[in-house]
Amino acid sequence: MLLISAGTVHGQAASDTLRAAENDTIPELPEDFDLEEFLQNQPQGQSTPSSISAGTGATQQVPQTRRADRQAAADAVNFQARDSLTFRFRGERKAFLFGSSNVRHTSGELSSGIIELDLNRTQVQAQATSPADTLSFPVLKQNGTDLRSTRILFNYKTEKGKFEVAEIQVDDGYLIGTQVKNISRTEVFVEDGIYSTCPPDHMYYYIKARRMKVVDEEEIFFTNAQLYILDIPYPLVFPFGYVPAGIDRRRSGLLEPTYVFQNTSARGIGLQNLGWFQYINDYLTAQTSFDVFTSGTVFNESRFQYRKTGNFNGNAVLGFSIERGLEPTDPGFTETRTRRLALTHDQQLSPFANINANINLRSADYFRRNSFDIDDRAETSSTSRVSYRYSHPEGAYNFSVTSNLNQQFNTNTTR
């Protein structure tokens, strides 16, 4: 393991009572100095003294210090290799590392089967020992993010680089691109990129785009994107899009979809929770999501939530589904439509009056066809209730009005 740092190595004379010798410094090495030739010409057993005598029986250490400032320490490069390591100090100042090689710098850490380090250009070039040896593929680590590629060219001073067939882990997803270029620590551009929340080796679904941009290692912008399920392109084209990191309730963005395996015999394979969350303001948010299947079945559910502390709060849910079990040209083709309206509202009209509503109206088989929750599918009835209550300020009387509506799906009655 070697440590190389910018700056010139200087010696420092010992401070004692003896008269200092003239030119008592360690001379700088000439540019054509050959370390290997110098070591071969040294007599056996000869070593450089680490101390000098400053009097009878007294020994004082002579510190060998580098006159380097903080910038020089920041430019230090630490590298090692398992199999072999060769240098060229004349002119090029290059190091060649073979076998489980590693280069560390404040800008990042690079591991690969083969690494070429150019000290003059402050850049590293890495590749695998062979195309079949996937374990030796280059991996660049920066700020806790791993970037895996078949070939990496990276400048550790400017933190700019180029990557071929690179794989990046972005928040909870993965991004793969045939050509990747980072212009800074926070911006990465990708050509022919693929993004998915599935593991890279088993991507059941993904979004493929011609161009992508990653900002702050978590946000993704893309253009000309298309949805793929099991490597089959779907007619969902996005002219442009944005994938935020870790969607919180104060940011708008795409919802994280999931792959659907349930009920494949009737609906086929599909994608669930494909939609958008919209943060409108501190009092109102909205969300809409779709489930789409290869049979043509579509399910949509939209939610609106509102709240004003100390005054009112509630939410509304609108849902519908169109289920197709067969192709329209097949005998016995059926198309089933289901709908749902759910509304909850609680409002304090005054210190003495409030209104409360809980409305649930839906088709009999809405949950059975569209929900995977056991409790929802087991429901055989639905109840709606609206109430108003008033209390006299002096407690003279109380007044309340309540309206109820009950749906019985077993008997298909409403009362």
> Using one digit for the tens of pLDDT, what is the confidence trace for 363-384?
988 988 888 788 888 888 899 9
Query: Is residue 270 located within the same domain as residue 407?
Result: yes
Host domain of residue 379: 247-415
pLDDT digits (tens, 9 = 90+) for 269-326: 788 888 898 888 888 999 999 988 887 889 999 999 998 877 889 999 999 999 876 6
**Which of residues 208, 227, 245 is at a domain's end?**
245
Count of domains forming the chain: 3
In this predicted structure, which of 55-64, 66-75, 107-116, 213-222 has the lowest mean pLDDT?
55-64
**Which of residues 245, 264, 297 is at a domain's end?**
245
**If pLDDT is split at 50, 70 and 90, which confidence band does 213 have?**
confident
Query: Is residue 379 located within the same domain as residue 258?
Result: yes
- Burial grade of 358 (CB within 10 A; 0-12, 13-18, 19 or more): middle
Residue 147 lies in a domain: no
Query: Is residue 315 located within the same domain as residue 415?
Result: yes
Per-residue burial over 15-50, b = 16 or more CB atoms within 10 Å of its CB, e = otherwise? eeeeeeeeeeeeeeeeeeeeeeeeeeeeeeeeeeee
pLDDT digits (tens, 9 = 90+) for 314-356: 999 999 999 876 666 666 667 889 999 999 999 988 889 999 9
